[in-house]
Amino acid sequence: GYVEVSTDGGASWTSHHRGIPGTHEQMDAVDPEHTWTAMSDRGVLFTHDGTTWEVVALTQQVGSENVKNVTDVDFVDSTFGWAAVARGVGGGPRKAEISRSVDGGLSWVNQFSWEHRKMLDIEAVDRDHAFAAGEIVNSDGFMLRTVDGGLNWTVVSGLPDDWTIWAMDFPT
């Protein structure tokens, strides 16, 4: 995998990262120097200077399969953010997880786990408020929210049946 960067609104692109194999799922940038990308098969790839990239492994291998895949990452500033994680092998049992970093992605702490779910997206509004979305295995979607920095995650009620949110974004 590689990261291409544009500094002129997409008119031209420059390769800033090559060499770490993996699937880039989602990216988030808070400024030109601080960018993260969720790599489903590697962890979180990040830069704190706009040119040097590092990987923090949040994945977990069992045999030849990943059982812990990062599906999205979202930061509110250069240090504080969340990652959406899906655990499970193939079509087997799944567990949705949410991890938080307070040091720019150098380390992560699991804040939430939910059996038989798959986490698809996470959107941080600020350090206290965030939303996460995913799907129940072989069923409908779900949305969670926190209002206390991720100490507690609650189900958002009143959403329609038979749906799944794959991506979301809120103006901040």
Q: Is the pLDDT of residue 67 over 70?
A: no
Flag whether the pTM goes above 0.85: no
Tokens standing for residue 101: 């970093």
Residues 6+ apart with CB under 8 A from 147: 128, 129
Closest to 151 in 3D by CA, of 172, 168, 127: 127
Cβ neighbours of 28 (radius 10 Å): 22
pLDDT tens digit sequence for 103-161: 998 888 889 988 878 888 999 999 999 999 988 877 788 899 999 999 999 999 887 77
Q: What is the pLDDT of residue 159?
A: 78
**DSSP tag of 45:** E
